Structure 1
Amino acid sequence: MKTSINPYNGEKLHSFKELNNKELHSKVKLSHECYLKWKKTFFEERSELLLNTARELKAQARKYGEIITKEMGKPITQSVAEVEKCAWVCEYYAEHGKKQLEEENIKTDASESYVYYEPLGVILAVMPWNYPFWQVFRFAAPNLMAGNVGVLKHASNVMKSAQMIQEIFTLAGFPEGCFQNLVLSSDKIAPLIEHEHIKAVTLTGSKPAGASVASKAGEHIKKTVLELGGSNALIVFEDADIDAAVTTCLNARFQNTGQSCIAGKRLLLHTVIKDDFLEKFVTQVSELKSGDPMDDDTYIGVLAREDLAKDLEEQVNDSVAMGATVILGGKRAGTYFEPTILCDVSPKMPVFYQETFGPVIGVTTFSTDEEAVSLSNASDFGLGVSIFTKDRERAKKLIPQFDEGAVFVNELVKSDPRLPFGGVKISGYGRELSSHGIKEFMNKKTVYIQ
């Protein structure tokens, strides 16, 4: 049984029976049979169903948001915003998917030569709990529009969210088997990847999970896209708009109670502006309201599980033992962890070189542009970086020097349906979203006619 428990009050919410091998095989077979018909549908039909999905998400955003909040503790206003963002990605691909997959004509010595995009089949998505709707929809919308079908292995603590996502696609009119939720244990993922009807896998999660999935898929020559962890730097230069940077850095680190792969986790401050920045930053962070995630004015909720809060506590305590200074917060109570700011952080400390998945940020100072880049790159992760400066030319010169999947100037790193999303180094490979994402699980067929 898979059971979801409200991390705020410990209430048992829902239980779901795991699929046995026979049931699992039957569902995958259904998906494959659906794919054989779905790939022959027209883009216009798929587009209309995605628009139906968007309408359902918007109409019931509060209802679905409450499910998210109860299962993993996200503050309700942020949960509703997550659902609304899912509607946006559906609308985006409904409008742009057909054009993104048009034949690409290439001039050669042939009478006609082009690249033709065709779907692969049943795609397995292994998804995490921190954005239980968004992570799934940013996979599902482009792939359904492209003619693929999806099966979902979601995190065990957000099974109700997973169930509701399948129901949403059903309500929108998608055929049975086009998108299915699979209630499985993690040990069933490997044999599922081996299944003849599973053609590719996408995973958002940890490095060990990504390595395991990629290894198994590689054995069977099946494509993978991995969106793994991150330890993004927030770099504030001496010429930055301090007030704007403070607000942006606060949101970059503390939204979703800090439980985000693309959160800004390492705050790098130029020595000239350190004191001014921190005075304002500490004030604003200390004013964030913690409390019941179901209250509309709560900004800091709880972590999704107590073991996650304990892991964060250990990272903080170990860093303090190595010389870091707590200037705000630092305490845990059950699944709640105070918004925490650590100063005097060096690259050898856990809060610098490890991913901190919660409301904790470490502060490190620098004196030159070269030092800032070096500190930012002193990480095994490479998902994204935010830099704050009023000098656009300075920013453009620095951009190529960062070992990252994304560089955002005067803004937090975020996923946007219009832009490719993904990382380098141990943050993964492949891209989601935009025209790049919709083509990840397509056969790029070369056509040559003489």
Structure 2
Amino acid sequence: MPIAVHNPTTGEVEKEYAAHTPEQIEAALAASTAAFETLRRTSFEERAGWMHRAADILDAEAEQVARTISTEMGKTFASALFEAHKSAKGMRHYADHAATYLASEAPVRPDQVGASRIAVRYEPIGPVLAVMPWNYPIWQAMRFAAPALMAGNTGLLKHASNVPESALYLGELFARGGFPEGAFQTLLVEGGQVLPLLDDRRIRAVTLTGSVGAGAAVAAAAGRNVKKSVLELGGADAFVVLPSADLDAAVPVAVNARVGNSGQSCIAGKRFIVHRDVYDEFEQRFTSAMAATVYGDPFADKTTFGPMATEAVRREVHELVEDARAKGARVLTGGELPDGPGWFYPATVLSGVTPDMRIAREECFGPVACLFPAENAHDALRQANESDFGLSASVWTRFPAEIELFSTGLETGGVFVNGFTSSFPQLPFGGVKDSGYGRELAGVGIREFVNIKTVWQA
């Protein structure tokens, strides 16, 4: 079956690529294994030079890359351009800090363990398979690629099937920067090829960003093969607004959380839990601001957000809204499928959402917000934690005691106070519960795929 670029703005097929054959997959595995034997023996300085050159190439070609992203998955050109430059910054971060993150260390004095010399070393493990999503086709993949290569591993990228041109670009970028041929390659394969790849002993680990179902299947296959896995499986993030919150700042961030990237972001707020004292004002201001957003052509200046990435994603979002509507939720704005070509969906706000509604339990990957009133801060914390997901959360308050309550009490991998949830190369990223395990980014991210070797000398 060919792998196609479906333009979500028009719904039309722009280009098709042939899926890789078994012979091509075998050649890629062999090349990755051979490149590892070369790359593992290079110095951090050599790898950093190649990574900086690859980052320079990406920055120089950022507009071209952004056009590809917008055409393939529909985000606005401005946000795609930001993604390209952010990815280059992430590459430079690991080029500059990998040697420090992975420096050998002696955690105790040698005499405390009866030795003359001890060391804990961080060494590469080999080819790592990355199964990546379409919502941030360059940045999401780069969060794996940059640290993996700087650690001395090689990478095989199985990207989402609807972003093949972004995937192919990444598959060539690092060799253009100077990395050994085969160090990072793209596999154009369908999802069904992932589990057989994990049975191949040459692949030493896997990282996946995707659905809970996909993550569970990959984790089971990795476990069966005794291979390390890192999973990021989405979220239903809480956005908590307490009485002392600055609504002038909170409302625009709340809107951006739901319409940025057309709502297709794991880490952005989806459940808006608002203290009763400010609930009515927040609902009115937030709903008005959501209704004022403009969806449309991602290349047009007036567009707030573009189409959904696929027809299936839009259908799933609308099914969640319809299920909530049928069970008594109020649609304050949006909630209707627009006529015309493309996979657009309007900014939508729901109130009166109850636990029996699917949208209260599942991740809604689109520009839809659910409002929930809270009696007090502890009730807001309880509601925030009543989710199978635990990726991140945003809390708006000026009181130190409330900041401490939520910073310690939220069952999430990240807490953002009075600001937009985001990812930074310098900070760990990941979740708990059904949002997955393991971490990307920062020092802990690069240490996910290394052999932590203890050296003890008498």
TM-score, length of structure 1 as denominator length: 0.98
Matching residue of 1:234:
239
**Residue type of the partner of 2:21?**
N
Matching residue of 2:85:
84
| Superposed counterparts of 1:16-55, under 5 Å | 16-55=17-56
Q: Distance in 1 between matches of 2:352 and 2:236?
A: 17
Contact 1:72-1:303 at 8 Å conserved across structures? yes
Contact 1:14-1:160 at 8 Å conserved across structures? no
Q: Distance in 1 between matches of 2:189 and 2:395?
A: 41
- Structure 1 counterpart SS, 2:163: helix
Are residue 95 (structure 1) and residue 96 (structure 2) matched? yes
Matching residue of 2:218:
213
Matching residue of 1:390:
398
Matching residue of 1:222:
227
User: What are the superposed Cα offsets for residues 150-208 of structure 1, whole Å, 9 maximum, x if unpaired?
Assistant: 00001111001100112222221222101000011111111111112100000000001
Q: Distance in 2 between matches of 1:347 and 1:385?
A: 19
**Residue type of the partner of 2:16?**
S
Q: Distance in 1 between matches of 2:271 and 2:329?
A: 13
Matching residue of 1:251:
256
**Residue type of the partner of 2:155?**
G
Q: 2:408 aligns with which of 377, 394, 400?
A: 400
Matching residue of 2:191:
186
Q: Distance in 2 between matches of 1:315 and 1:380?
A: 17
How far is 1:385 from its partner?
1.0
- Structure 2 counterpart SS, 1:448: strand
Matching residue of 2:371:
363
Contact 1:233-1:266 at 8 Å conserved across structures? yes
- Structure 2 counterpart SS, 1:272: helix
Q: Distance in 2 between matches of 1:102 and 1:58?
A: 29
Matching residue of 1:417:
425
Q: 1:305 aligns with which of 283, 304, 310?
A: 310
Query: What RMSD in Å do the two structures reach over aligned CA positions?
Result: 1.1
How far is 1:406 from its partner?
0.8
User: What are the superposed Cα offsets for residues 362-406 of structure 1, whole Å, 9 maximum, x if unpaired?
Assistant: 000001111111101111001011110011232113322111111
Q: 1:151 aligns with which of 144, 150, 156?
A: 156
Are residue 336 (structure 1) and residue 366 (structure 2) matched? no
- Structure 2 counterpart SS, 1:151: strand
Q: Distance in 1 between matches of 2:149 and 2:242?
A: 43
Contact 1:351-1:361 at 8 Å conserved across structures? no
How far is 1:63 from its partner?
0.5
**Residue type of the partner of 1:105?**
A
- Structure 1 counterpart SS, 2:285: helix
Matching residue of 2:67:
66
Matching residue of 1:428:
436
Q: 1:139 aligns with which of 140, 144, 154?
A: 144
Matching residue of 2:354:
346
Structure 1 stretches of 4+ moved >6 Å: none
Contact 1:226-1:428 at 8 Å conserved across structures? yes
- Structure 2 counterpart SS, 1:336: coil
Q: How many residue pairs get matched?
A: 450
Contact 1:124-1:200 at 8 Å conserved across structures? yes
Are residue 379 (structure 1) and residue 380 (structure 2) matched? no
Contact 2:296-2:344 at 8 Å conserved across structures? no
- Structure 1 counterpart SS, 2:315: helix
How far is 1:18 from its partner?
1.3
Q: Distance in 1 between matches of 2:294 and 2:400?
A: 35
User: What are the superposed Cα offsets for residues 201-224 of structure 1, whole Å, 9 maximum, x if unpaired?
Assistant: 000000010011111111110000
Identity of aligned residues (%): 42
User: What are the superposed Cα offsets for residues 78-113 of structure 1, whole Å, 9 maximum, x if unpaired?
Assistant: 111111110110011011111110012122332222
Q: Distance in 1 between matches of 2:312 and 2:39?
A: 42
- Structure 2 counterpart SS, 1:147: coil
- Structure 2 counterpart SS, 1:28: helix
Q: Distance in 1 between matches of 2:313 and 2:142?
A: 25
How far is 1:413 from its partner?
1.7
How far is 1:22 from its partner?
2.0
